[in-house]
């Protein structure tokens, strides 16, 4: 069974000394940090054109995860949500912070959220050269019988990760106040929980 969704805290004990946090982007500042990391990695290192990196999908049903080490944004990952599967995208770690630990923490958080939302499959398109790394760190397998893709000057492979069912996965009959809470913060009372203490007075 999947571990409980834990964001805003270091997901692995050996990283706690370095104050690693994985959070969901919820503010303009968060989104700016996400964009900076992606620009450094994809545009700066891989010379990806701006229009191809910022592809119009950042504000359309997407959740952005940010890894911060000692408060500094060092890695990002985007998850988009479809009927029947989630799609892992725009994974980037700054070059000085690579090695696997931060990547694992980002994947753990993304998979945990997908399972909590009731998803059983995660799809990804990864650069062919990264398949060994993604098998080892992201726990993915190559999808059989699927052709390779070429876009943005790279060859890509389709991969997927199967998720174990989550006991407390959200569904249509879940507590409405839980569903109303901020993305990924379903186990903590939100502002609307607090507002429920006031009586209904509208319309006047």
Instruction: Summarize pLDDT for 58-68 with one digit per residue, the tens.
Output: 998 999 999 99
Which range is least confidently modeled, 99-103, 119-123, 125-129, 144-148?
Answer: 99-103
CATH of domain 13-121+159-169: 3.40.630.30
Residue with the larger pLDDT of the pair 115 and 99: 115
Average pLDDT, the chain: 89
Contact 103, 143 (CB under 8 A): no
Sorting pLDDT into bands at 50, 70 and 90, what band is 9? very low
Q: How many other C-beta atoms can be found within 10 angstroms of the C-beta atom of residue 46?
A: 13
Provide the residue ranges of all domains of the chain, joining segments of one domain with +: 13-121+159-169, 173-204
- State the Cα–Cα distance between residues 183 and 27, nearest whole angstrom: 12
**Residues of the chain by 3-state class (helix, strand, coil), percent to 5:** 35, 25, 40
**Residue 3 pLDDT:** 43
- pLDDT confidence tier of residue 99, bands split at 50, 70 and 90: confident
Model pLDDT for residues 41-95, shown as the tens digit of each residue:
999 998 999 988 999 999 989 999 999 999 999 999 999 999 999 999 999 999 9
Mean pLDDT of 169-191: 93
DSSP notation for 106-170: HHHHHHHHHHHTT--EEEEEEEGGGHHHHHHHH--EEPTTPPPEEETTEEEEEEEEE-PPPTT--
Render pLDDT for 11-41 as a digit per residue (tens, 0 to 9): 444 455 568 999 999 999 999 999 999 999 9
Q: Which residue is associated with the tokens 């998720």? A: 163
Q: What percent of the chain has pLDDT over 90?
A: 76
Please report which helix (H) or strand (E) contains residue 22, including its range: strand 20-24
Tell me what pLDDT residue 17 has.
56
Rounded to two decimals, the pTM is: 0.86
């Amino acid at each position: 069974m999947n571990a409980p969704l834990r964001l805003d805290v270091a997901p692995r004990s050996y990283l706690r000394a370095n104050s690693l946090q994985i959070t969901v982007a919820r503010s303009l500042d968060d989104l700016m940090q996400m964009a900076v990391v992606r620009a450094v990695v994809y545009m700066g290192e891989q010379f990806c054109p701006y229009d191809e990196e910022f592809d119009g999908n950042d504000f359309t049903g997407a959740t952005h995860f940010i890894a911060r080490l000692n408060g500094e944004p060092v890695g990002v990952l985007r998850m988009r949500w479809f009927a029947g599967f989630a799609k892992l995208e725009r994974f980037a770690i700054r070059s000085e912070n690579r090695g696997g630990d931060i990547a694992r923490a980002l994947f753990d958080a993304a998979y945990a959220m997908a399972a909590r939302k009731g998803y059983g499959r995660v799809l990804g398109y990864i650069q062919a050269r990264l398949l060994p790394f993604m098998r080892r760190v992201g726990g993915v397998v190559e999808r059989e019988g699927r052709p390779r893709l070429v876009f943005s000057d790279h060859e890509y492979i389709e991969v997927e990760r199967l998720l174990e069912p989550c006991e407390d996965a959200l569904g249509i009959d879940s507590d409405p106040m839980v569903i109303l809470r901020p993305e990924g913060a379903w186990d903590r009372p939100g502002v609307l929980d607090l507002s429920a203490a006031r009586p209904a007075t509208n319309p006047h």
